[in-house]
Every structure is written in C-alpha cells, then in structure tokens.
Amino acid sequence: MGELSSGADIQPLEDDDPARLGRFPLIGRLAAGGMGRVYLGRSLTDGMLVAIKSPLAQAEVSAVDRRRFAREVKVARRAEGLRTARVLGADAEAERPWLATEYIPAPSLAELVSEAGTLAGTAALRVTRGAVEAVAELHRHGIVHRDVKPQNLLLPLSGPRLIDFGISHAADLTRTQLTLGTVAFTSPEQARGEPSTAASDIYSLGATLFHLVVGRAPYPGGMEMLALLTYVAEANLDLTGLPGELAPVVRECLALRPGNRPTAEDLLDSLTAELAEMPTLAGPEGWLPRPWTAIIEAYARQGRELAADPRAVGTAPEQSAKPSGSPLSPGRSAAHSAEAAAERTAHLPTSPEDKTPQPGDRPTGARSRGESVFVRAVQGLMAFALLLLGGALAYGYYQNRQAEQPGPVDRAFAEIRTGDCIQTGLDPAGRWLATSPETTDCAAPGAHWRVVASTSQAIPDRCGAPYAGVAWTRSSRAATISLCLERLFHPGECVIGAQPDPAALTEVTPLRNEPVFATTVQCSDTAPDTLAVLRVLKYGLSDTTCPPQTQVRYRFPDRGRILCLTTT
C-alpha cells in the first residue's frame, strides 16, 4: 500500500474489521474506542472519501437503539448548510449498522489551539464568525446540536465546519436527555438535567470561543468531572485572560439563564457588522497565523493525496482532542474522533424549564441550598449513568434510506452551465437573496454574474479559479454543486468600494468575496468609514482608459479587466 508524505496515522484494517460497509470499501481505520470504530472509506461511484462509523457489534443491536439513531441521522440530513458534514448513506438494519458522512480533511479547533496556540485580533473574530454561522445554520433548520465544543468544529481553509450529530436532536422533540459529552463545554441547563434548547448551543459556543482565545475552558482548572459539573450548572466562571475583542460576545453567550443569551442570528449580524469595518484581507492564509495554516494545509494535502491514490492507506489525519506532538504531523481523524464514535446519552428526570423572564443573572458564586441539593442529586445520577454506560454500546445506528431525488433547488443549480449569466442578488455581508440561481440574458442590466465554472465536489466552495469573485455552493442530500462566478459591472450602478484618495487615483486589486461584489447597493446608501459608495463609470478590458472623472480603479488581472469608479 502507498505511503503519503505527511506521516499521519491511519491504522490498517484488522482481522475483525469488515472489508466494506454498505457500498463503501474500507481503506483503513481512523479511530477506535470502546464503543465503536470510525473508518476511512471510498465511494465506488465517484471515488470520494467518506468517514464511516460502525459499532463493535459484540452484542445484538436493540430495536430501540436502531430507532433512536435512525432519528438522529434524519436530523443530520436536515442540516443541509455549508458548515456541516453531509450524510452520504446509512443502514441501521444491517447486521453491522453503519453511517457514512463526508470526509473533511481538516483539524479541529481543539487540535489547533493545543498545537499552534490561541488566536487573537482579527483572526479570532473571523473564525468566531464562521463558528457562529455554522450554529446559526442548524438553528434555522430547527436543530439543536447539543455538543458544540472545540473537538467538533473543524477548520478547513473554506471556513469552520460543525460535525458529529451523534447526540443532536430536533427542537420539536421534547424528550429530555443529559449529554455525557465534554462537561466543560456543556450548558448549565444540560448539566442540571434540563431540556436543551438553541440557547444551550449558544452557551457551549461561548465556552468554545473562550477556549479559542485563552486556551482552556472558562472554569477553574484541576477539578474532577463531578466537581466541574457543579461549576457548570451554576455558570461559576473564571474568565481570566479573556481578550477585549471577544469579551462582549463571550460574556453574553455565557449568561446563566438561557433567556439572557443572544441568538445565533444576533451574534452573526453583530460580527458581520464589526468585520465590515475592518480592512479586507486575503483568504485565511493572509490572516491566520502561520502555525495554524501549516496544520490546516497538511490536512488538506493529505486529503488530496488520499483522494488521488486508490491504494493509499494508513496516512489519513485522525481527529482527537489529544495532541499528536507535531503541527506538521496531524494524527487525528479529519471527520470524527473515537470520542465522537462513542458519545453517550442518559435519560434523567427533570423539572420544567423556568420560562419567566429574569431581570438579570445572579452573581455566579451565589446559590440556594435547594439548588445545591439538586445539583448534587444530578451529579449522583450522572455518575451512576456513567457506570452503567461505560461498558454499554451507545453508538449511532442509522436507518437505511434510499438516495433522495434532487429537489427543485438542486435541479436549478445542476442546470446552470459555464457562460450562463445570473441576476440573483448578493448583499454586502455575502448572503444570497434567493435560494436558487436565476438566469438572464448576459446583456441585460440585471445580469450581475457570469458562470466561469461549475464544480461538483465533496467539499464546497473550492472553485480554484482565481478570476471567480464569488463561489455560490448548494449542498444537499442529493449533491454538492459550486458555481464559480465572475461579477459583471454595469455603468451607472453603485457598489461599495475603497475610499478614494483626494490627491491621486486609488488603485485596488480585489480579492474574492469583497464588498465590491455585492449587487444590492443603492447609490443613496452609506458605507463604513473605511469604504465608500461608488458609481460605475466603465467596466472593460485592462488596456482601455478610464474616464477622466475616475477616482478609484479596480484591476482584475486574471480576467484582464478594469473597473472605473467615482463617488456618488
């Protein structure tokens, strides 16, 4: 078998491992634990790599477990955004149940912080926005993840991806469960055995972001799990070292009462506005620290080599919270960890959540005697559940489902061809104003985009075309399609661009996804202090001359064009 250059750790298949699960031949073992195993496999139809979970199958799988995890994979399928790992297949009725998901060759935030240090400044804000966007996408689908933590947020160069729906549930399900996952990143209400809500994810996100910039959980160190549970249940925090740029966001997320926490959409709007006022930077390579990009690039390189070599085995990254030692030798699964393969849930009696609005959180150190007794009772139940579940199989089993037919949106994306022009709007925050592309005549004033490429890949937003100003990706159960788009500018329309220099012509070479590509700007709009609303005078070949009144000139060297702009 071939050996790749990165030296990462995929273990070869052993005698008790299957050669294939469902339609996926197995390449090697990514992770193994007491509950189950995670394999690296390959699709026979298109050659794409997949991560496949399967229990050890040492005992017969109960019908209750099969139904429960069939429901969980249904929840995962509902999360069709760009920031999750797609479910590609599952069979809960097989003799050895399995679940196949998109393989994401990227390290987790836990590994990056452990091996390359914490983030600060603009880099921390940009990663935070991506993480918030991932949570917001789930909440738009009515899904509560229930286990947001650094180990479950992967960071490819295309942006954070939230993985592991092993203990997720839809918000419309009312059964109460207590997550026995990473206690330090769970919410107070989960620690008390109360129902999880979208606000629970926000608290976990706040703890994760604190870890991103400080390097530890937001509680005093050196405690055993049950002692830590008491601190979590009361939001008894230690925020020493929290830098100013993320302090407001983290403190709001870590409010004791769920009703006092912001929603994911609120956070996303706030961070988008804050980043819009900052200088536009290159891609992640331009704003992430070099130690971070070295690890990310190592994972990406290994993923490309594995995808290109059908014989490759033993070298795929394997994700875990435990550091492997070298930033250039990642040794963790890029999609799932052994912990993720063995997440456990315990059913606990709970009291209804207090829905009465509160004027504010009480001091973190104060608690009533009744609350303390309740917390100790939950601790006892949790410890008992851990003992019971420690040797039991509580892994994900999934219902066999036929591949779904493409829906109208999938078909709309699939029908787009290179050279087509699209009139769909894009706002300055990078959000599309329609769910599917709308084609139009390329000479029409509303033709904002020309399609320069269309790709179908497991990892979205990977156009690879330097002249593509924007990539629009549709990711669903049926397919992932990325449209690589060139912005078309029309004389008279207004855009958001660089602030002109009163004394000289301002020259700009834009990068991808800058505000200048937005199509919804009105000439009467206002722009952030560092930018300006500009009117298009001319958009043409780079060897043409701009009109005399031009104040800002954008150059697009890869497409051989210039954009001539003036103030409104």
Write the pLDDT tens digit of every residue in 446-485: 899 998 887 764 333 445 444 446 778 776 656 678 788 8
Q: Which of 194-208, 415-429, 495-509 has the lowest mean pLDDT?
A: 415-429
3-state secondary structure 189-255: HHHCCCCCCHHHHHHHHHHHHHHHHHCCCCCCCCCCHHHHHHHHHCCCCCCCCCCCCCHHHHHHHCC
Work out the average pLDDT over 504-510.
87
Same domain (yes/no): 462, 527 = no
pTM of the model: 0.56
**C-alpha closest to that of 164 among 336, 364, 414:** 336
Of the pLDDT bands very low, low, confident and very high (cuts 50, 70, 90), residue 363 is very low
Distance CA 399, CA 409 (A): 25
Between the CA of residue 332 and those of 313, 422, 490, what are the distances in Å? Answer: 14, 41, 49
**Report for 12-21, 50-59, 92-101: range of highest mean pLDDT:** 12-21
Query: Would you call 138 exposed, middle or buried from its count of C-beta atoms within 10 A (0-12, 13-18, 19+)?
Result: buried
Distance CA 72, CA 68 (A): 6
Asked if the structure places residue 445 within a domain, the reply is yes
Same domain (yes/no): 472, 501 = no
Q: Which of 103-107, 152-156, 332-336, 487-491 has the lowest mean pLDDT?
A: 332-336
For tokens 């912005």, what's the residue? Answer: 487
Amino acid, single-letter form, for residue 29: R
pLDDT tens sequence across 176-223: 333 333 789 999 998 888 888 999 999 999 999 999 999 999 998 777
pLDDT at 284: 56
Q: Whole domain around residue 474: which residue ranges?
A: 408-487
Same domain (yes/no): 468, 516 = no
Domain boundary among 453, 487, 521: 487
pLDDT at 248: 92
Same domain (yes/no): 436, 503 = no
The token duo for 129 is 């926005």
CB 422 within 8 A of CB 449: yes
Amino acid, single-letter form, for residue 350: T
In total, the chain counts a number of residues equal to 568
pLDDT at 268: 92
Q: Quick one: what percent of the chain has pLDDT higher than 70?
A: 68
Asked if the structure places residue 115 within a domain, the reply is no
Same domain (yes/no): 471, 513 = no
Dihedral angle of Cα 331, 336, 339, 340, to the nearest 10 degrees: 170
Same domain (yes/no): 417, 474 = yes
> What total of structural domains would you count in the chain?
2
Asked if the structure places residue 412 within a domain, the reply is yes
Asked if the structure places residue 385 within a domain, the reply is no
Would the pLDDT of 254 be above 60? yes
**C-alpha closest to that of 313 among 3, 56, 538:** 3
Q: Which of 134-138, 422-426, 535-539 has the lowest mean pLDDT?
A: 422-426
Asked if the structure places residue 479 within a domain, the reply is yes
Same domain (yes/no): 498, 475 = no
Q: Which of 26-40, 241-255, 390-404 has the lowest mean pLDDT?
A: 390-404
Distance CA 283, CA 297 (A): 13
The token duo for 474 is 């549709």
pLDDT at 16: 83
Pairing of strands 20-21, 24-32: antiparallel
pLDDT at 89: 86
Distance CA 326, CA 317 (A): 13
Would the pLDDT of 368 be above 90? no
pLDDT at 513: 58
pLDDT at 315: 38
Pairing of strands 506-508, 552-556: parallel
Same domain (yes/no): 513, 468 = no
For tokens 């409010």, what's the residue? Answer: 255
CA max distance for the chain: 80
The token duo for 413 is 């994306």
DSSP code per residue over 242-277: --TTTHHHHHHHT-SSGGGSPPHHHHHHHHHHHHHT
Asked if the structure places residue 544 within a domain, the reply is yes
Would the pLDDT of 323 be above 80? no
Asked if the structure places residue 323 within a domain, the reply is no
CA angle 464, 469, 473 (to 5 degrees): 65
Ramachandran sector of residue 164 (left: φ over 0; alpha: ψ -120 to 50; beta: rest): left
pLDDT at 36: 66
Catalytic residue selected from 65, 147, 410, 461: 147
Asked if the structure places residue 339 within a domain, the reply is no
Same domain (yes/no): 414, 463 = yes
pLDDT tens sequence across 73-126: 777 777 766 688 888 888 878 878 888 888 888 989 998 998 888 998 888 888
pLDDT at 380: 45
Same domain (yes/no): 482, 501 = no
Same domain (yes/no): 419, 470 = yes
Would the pLDDT of 35 be above 70? no
Would the pLDDT of 327 be above 50? no
Same domain (yes/no): 454, 502 = no
Domain boundary among 462, 487, 512: 487
Domain boundary among 487, 520, 538: 487
65 catalytically annotated: no
Distance CA 357, CA 534 (A): 46
pLDDT at 526: 84
**C-alpha closest to that of 543 among 524, 531, 560:** 560
Distance CA 108, CA 296 (A): 9
Report the chain's C-alpha Rg in angstroms.
Answer: 25
